[in-house]
């Protein structure tokens, strides 16, 4: 791995994180503007219009594994940088164009059809964006900065959530309700598209990763990298899938779904829910930055990964216990503990995700396993948590589900040594099972 200055590292990490910011921004803006989208693009009852609106969101979400498979293939075949540029450009154009689509009353059925088309484009491009950023940072940044790079990448996703909330709030405050209905709902999508194009222009100055340059120089480029994974890296693929499934389920529930759960099921006031959610996200971002900066002094070893999965599981029970008692301060403190443990584990798992696959199949392996897991989490978690609660009438039911996925994470950690042989010898120092790994 080539060394680089701190300034170059920070610039590369920031540019790699742009796509994650835009992904979170677009997701949250779509949800916040769902009422307007339902009214503008669909007909029927209010319920049916909202169902169609959320179904279009889901279509884009489930397109991500296909995008991961396609973009991962090209990333291993033709280079990380070119695919990285394509993914953010397509995502930016699709986001911008959603803000320009004529309404159903103007072009009829073509309006929802065009919306579906651009959501599909977003989903396909997102399939290569965050996994591509994980790989790009992993292969560019020297070993002692990898945790910091991945922590910034994860933090960027939640910065995107905050940006979306602020943008929607400002637009809503500046414009009257009639103007919001007329054109205001389009503004956040247009701004998101402009932000994405800016990221694309800035990324054009990025260089190809040293790992891929070496692959090209040694003529080790595979014609079908995914086939190589199926034949020779099945254990690593399964391990990566279950690790992402476990940590993503916890993060998705407590940082995305939980506010709605508090209001709809637990009958919390919207103001209290907003405060809890905002404080939780802000604390999580802060912990990510601290963990990334002081990584060496915090924890190390496979045993630590298992301990943090267990602590996350216990924290989930603590959170739901204090939800029952409506103890605001203790609930916030429990969330703080959860944020600390997740921030200490998740960046490490991003590095492991990249390390589980040798460079010649890394983009394909990381993108496909990551996106299949994320699609399942996004589709199953809300349904599973809701079903468990209404069938048990227990506020602790979601915690039982979180405990189950944390146990999946623990088992996956225990199976990771089976994948040691998949690490290329020249990169063995980045393998978390190598004795020199924790002397970084």
158-180 pLDDT, tens per residue?
888 888 878 887 888 888 888 88
Residues 44 and 81 in one domain: yes
Q: What is the structure's pLDDT at 280?
A: 83
The length of the chain in residues reads 440
Residues 49 and 119 in one domain: yes
Residues 135 and 280 in one domain: no
Residues 86 and 204 in one domain: yes
To the nearest whole number, what is the mean pLDDT of the chain? 83
Whole-angstrom Cα distance, residue 348 to residue 440?
A: 14
Mean pLDDT of 16-20: 85
pLDDT band at 426 (very low <50, low <70, confident <90, very high): very low
pLDDT band at 438 (very low <50, low <70, confident <90, very high): very low
Per residue in 257-294, pLDDT tens? 777 677 767 777 766 777 777 788 888 899 998 888 77
Lowest pLDDT segment from 8-12, 319-323, 435-439: 435-439
pLDDT band at 299 (very low <50, low <70, confident <90, very high): low
Cα dist from 199 to 123, 181, 295, 439, whole Å: 18, 29, 28, 35
Among 180, 206, 221, identify where a domain stops: 221
Among 221, 246, 268, identify where a domain stops: 221
**Count of domains for the chain:** 2
Per residue in 214-230, pLDDT tens? 888 888 888 888 888 88
Mean pLDDT of 53-68: 86
Q: What is the structure's pLDDT at 264?
A: 67
Residues 245 and 152 in one domain: no
Q: What is the structure's pLDDT at 255?
A: 79
Q: Quick one: what percent of the chain has pLDDT higher than 70?
A: 91
Is 428 a residue whose pLDDT tops 80? no
Lowest pLDDT segment from 202-206, 361-365, 429-433: 429-433
Lowest pLDDT segment from 2-6, 57-61, 167-171, 207-211: 2-6
Residues 205 and 238 in one domain: no
Q: Phi/psi at 365 (nearest 5 deg)?
A: -65, -45
Q: Phi/psi at 257 (nearest 5 deg)?
A: -85, -30
Residues 217 and 237 in one domain: no
Residues 358 and 232 in one domain: yes
Is 31 a residue whose pLDDT tops 60? yes
Is 6 a residue whose pLDDT tops 50? yes
Q: Which residues contact 173 (CB under 8 A, 6 or more apart)?
A: none
The DSSP code for 420 is: G
Which CATH number do you get for residue 196? 1.20.1250.20
The predicted model scores a pTM of 0.85
| Domain extent at residue 322 | 224-440
Q: Is the dihedral of CA 266, 163, 200, 15 positive or negative?
A: negative
Q: What is the structure's pLDDT at 298?
A: 54
Whole-angstrom Cα distance, residue 193 to residue 93?
A: 6
Residues 27 and 170 in one domain: yes
Residues 193 and 244 in one domain: no
Q: What is the structure's pLDDT at 114?
A: 94
Per residue in 314-358, pLDDT tens? 999 998 888 876 677 888 888 889 999 999 899 989 988 988 898
Helices (H), 141-186: 146-174, 177-182
Among 221, 242, 263, identify where a domain stops: 221
Residues 213 and 104 in one domain: yes
Residues 320 and 417 in one domain: yes
Q: What is the structure's pLDDT at 415?
A: 83
Q: Which range has highest mean pLDDT (2-6, 110-114, 374-378, 392-396)?
A: 110-114
Q: Quick one: what percent of the chain has pLDDT higher than 90?
A: 25
Per residue in 78-113, pLDDT tens? 988 888 889 999 999 999 999 999 999 899 999 999
Whole-angstrom Cα distance, residue 37 to residue 161?
A: 19
Whole-angstrom Cα distance, residue 148 to residue 137?
A: 10
Is 193 a residue whose pLDDT tops 90? yes
Whole-angstrom Cα distance, residue 413 to residue 403?
A: 15
């Amino acid at each position: 791995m080539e060394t680089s200055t701190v300034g170059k590292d920070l610039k590369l990490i920031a540019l790699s994180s742009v796509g994650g910011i835009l992904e979170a921004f677009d997701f949250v803006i779509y949800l916040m503007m769902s009422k307007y989208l339902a009214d503008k693009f669909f007909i029927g009852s209010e319920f049916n219009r909202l169902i169609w609106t959320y179904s279009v969101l889901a279509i884009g979400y489930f397109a991500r594994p296909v995008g991961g498979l396609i973009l991962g293939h090209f990333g291993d075949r033709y280079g990380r940088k070119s695919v990285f540029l394509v993914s953010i450009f397509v995502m930016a154009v699709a986001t911008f164009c959603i803000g320009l689509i004529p309404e159903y009353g103007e072009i009829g059925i073509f309006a929802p059809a065009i919306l579906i088309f651009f959501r599909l484009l977003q989903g396909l491009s997102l399939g290569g964006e965050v996994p591509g950023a994980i790989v790009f940072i992993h292969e560019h940044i020297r070993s002692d900065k990898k945790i910091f790079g991945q922590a910034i990448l994860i933090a960027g996703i939640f910065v995107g959530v905050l940006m979306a909330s602020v943008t929607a709030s400002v637009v809503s405050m500046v414009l009257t309700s009639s103007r919001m209905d007329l054109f205001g709902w389009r503004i956040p999508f247009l701004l998101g598209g402009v932000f994405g194009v800016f990221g694309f222009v800035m990324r054009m100055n990025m260089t190809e990763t040293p790992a891929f340059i070496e692959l090209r120089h040694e003529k080790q480029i595979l014609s079908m990298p995914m086939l190589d994974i199926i034949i020779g890296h099945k254990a690593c693929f399964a391990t990566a899938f279950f690790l992402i499934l476990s940590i993503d389920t916890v993060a998705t529930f407590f940082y995305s779904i939980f506010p709605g759960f508090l209001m709809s099921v637990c009958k919390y006031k919207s103001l209290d829910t907003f405060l809890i959610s905002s404080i939780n996200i802000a604390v999580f971002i802060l912990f990510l930055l601290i963990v990334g900066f002081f990584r060496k002094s915090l924890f190390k070893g496979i045993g630590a990964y298992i301990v943090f999965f267990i602590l996350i599981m216990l924290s989930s029970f603590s959170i739901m216990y204090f939800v029952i008692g409506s103890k605001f301060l203790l609930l916030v403190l429990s969330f703080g503990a959860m944020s600390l443990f997740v921030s200490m584990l998740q960046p490490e798992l991003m590095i492991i995700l990249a390390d589980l696959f040798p460079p010649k199949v890394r983009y394909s392996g990381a993108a496909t396993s990551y996106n299949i897991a994320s699609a399942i989490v996004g589709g199953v978690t809300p349904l599973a948590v809701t079903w468990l609660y209404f069938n048990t009438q227990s506020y602790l039911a979601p915690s039982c589900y979180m405990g189950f996925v944390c146990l999946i994470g623990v088992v996956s950690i225990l199976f990771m040594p089976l994948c040691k042989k998949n690490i290329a010898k020249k990169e063995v120092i980045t393998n978390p099972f190598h004795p020199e790994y924790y002397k970084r």
